[in-house]
Chains A and B, each alone.
Chain A
Amino acid sequence: MPTINEIVSEEIRAQARKLLEEGTVAAVIGYAAGTLPMTVRPLVVRSPEDCSKLIWNTFCVLNLANYLPATLKSVEPPRGPRDPKPEGPLPKVAICATGCWSRNIVVQTQEHQVDRDRVVVMGVGSRGMVSRRKVEAIFSGKEILKVEEGDHELIVQGADFSETINRWSVVRDNCQTCTHPDPVLVDVRIGEPVSERKPPNPFIQVEKIEQKTVDARWAWFTEEFSTCIRCYACRNACPLCYCPTCFVDDAKPQWVGKSLDAVDTGLFHVLRAYHCAGRCTDCGTCETVCPMGINMRMLTKKLNKDVLNLYGIEAGMQPDAPLPLTTYAMDDPQKFMANEVAPVPSMAPATLGHRGPVPGSVKEGK
């Protein structure tokens, strides 16, 4: 009997072939098998014959939304930077997306990086992706040559061993606390929808750190990020990081030094996480691609928690609402202010400097 993921793979191949043959899309973004056990490669398929290369398994950890803007650009007819947009609709691109990646596509649409009309989302309900690092940790010192996948177990094989382990026990941390495994955008449904998950506390990993004292938190921070080698894999794998010039590459002013100094690496991670505030969907790709195994996801998860608690927004869940940091409310919490006093006076005194409108006259949000 085929496993769930084998059925999904077959459906992805069939749908991709159909979309390409019909000419609905010019390219399909999915995965091909990797060369090592437990790896996959992102793949852009442009012809129906190549659709047989597409696969889906429990190791699909790279966020495909990261490749969407560039793929959309690549299928457009070539033109210079100042040439006008060609007339008529531009070619479309299909992309396999789980819950978090589809939310990334929503954010990309909100930020005008992606034209929603040109994207065909092949929605796959996520069952949680397995962390290669966790599996390797179980078999530390042994070389894993092959991993076969059942619905709820993994059969890990090496030269002289073959063991069956529980799949959920090695699922990535972010998938274990995921609340929205099913895509929010679905144009073509692949497989069965997955219901919303209700983990007892999605922020439990963050709260463990929050409960520490200030000094212990600082110790955690310096320890956690001390091994960073500044390869920027976390930045490059992130679908939110598309600035033409990243703040780390700015030379004048140089916000963050380029050295391996602990302060420079720390600042890089703080700023990188902060730039994802209100946009991060906790897809866990940054953590997965880190060659040093740094849990930088804790910073973005902390920001996700604050954005949810303070402003009631989860990135990518409301396609029509503005992003949390591009809007405001008159009564946003401001407990952090040094001189937080009584509520805002109802009438601003008419003195020098009070040139703003009277509170209450400003329209909320944009």
Chain B
Amino acid sequence: MTEQSTNWEPKIIAFLCNWCSYAGADLAGVSRFQYPSNIRIVRVPCSGRVSENMILSALKSGADGILVSGCHPGDCHYISGNYFARRRFALLSNLLDFIGVEPGRVNFSWVSASEGEQFAEVVQGVTEKVKALGSASRLVKKIDALETELQVA
């Protein structure tokens, strides 16, 4: 998280559900849709598996952006996982906005397994948003600063 250089590229952690969005990402690859290579995919069984702990700990560890993507409502492999997730994400995204984390850092989307092109679009959009925001500083733990402090002391 040093100064932003001209060729800075954001790191975006994407939590993709195994049944839809991960397959969507796969389809995007197989179909040769271009999308930015800034995302680092974490495959999760369901968007309902993604807890606030995981999102915030990714931010804490220096992710510039987060994308959580699951099946469209009604399409969940586990019938209702994404409905529960939707309630939790709505509250979390409002709470993060409330404490002043820039809107656009933490993103949520629905992408189905057949939507390779849409997946590429979502990633494109999220990457542009995060690039415009610059590297993350809020809720990011600055380990470098701590280490320097320890060395000085």
Indicate whether A and B interact: yes
Measuring CB to CB, which residues of chain A are less than 8 angstroms from any residue of chain B? 206, 209-210, 214-221, 247, 253, 255-257, 259, 261, 263-264, 266-267, 270-271, 273-274, 277-278, 299, 302-303, 306-307, 310-311, 324-326, 328-330, 332-334, 336-339, 344-345, 348-349, 351-360, 362
**Listed A/B pairs (16) with beta-carbon separation below 8 Å:** A216-B100, A217-B99, A218-B100, A263-B140, A270-B56, A271-B52, A310-B90, A328-B83, A330-B83, A334-B86, A336-B89, A348-B72, A352-B23, A353-B24, A353-B112, A359-B75
Q: Tell whether, in the assembled complex, residue A325 and residue B100 are in contact, meaning their CB atoms are under 8 Å apart.
A: no
**CB-based contact B72/A353 at 8 Å:** no
Q: Smallest distance from the beta carbon of A208 to chain B beta carbons, Å?
A: 12
Q: Known contacts A255-B57, A263-B140, A271-B53; is A336 also within 8 Å of B79 by CB? A: no
Chain A proximity of B113: nearest CB distance (Å): 2
Contact for B74 among A333, A337, A344, CB less than 8 A? A344
Any A CB within 8 A of the CB of B19: yes
A219 to B101, CA, bound (A): 11
CA distance A360 to B98 in the complex (A): 33
Further 18 A-B residue pairs, CB within 8 A, beyond A338-B107, A339-B118, A344-B74:
A218-B101, A218-B138, A219-B100, A255-B56, A267-B139, A270-B99, A271-B52, A311-B87, A325-B88, A332-B87, A336-B94, A338-B108, A339-B121, A344-B72, A348-B75, A351-B113, A351-B114, A353-B71
Q: Which residues of A contact B87 (CB under 8 A)?
A: 310-311, 324-325, 328, 332
Is B67 close to A, CB under 8 A? yes
- What are the 7 A-B residue pairs with the smallest beta carbon separation, nearest first? A353-B113, A218-B100, A359-B74, A217-B100, A328-B83, A351-B114, A356-B75
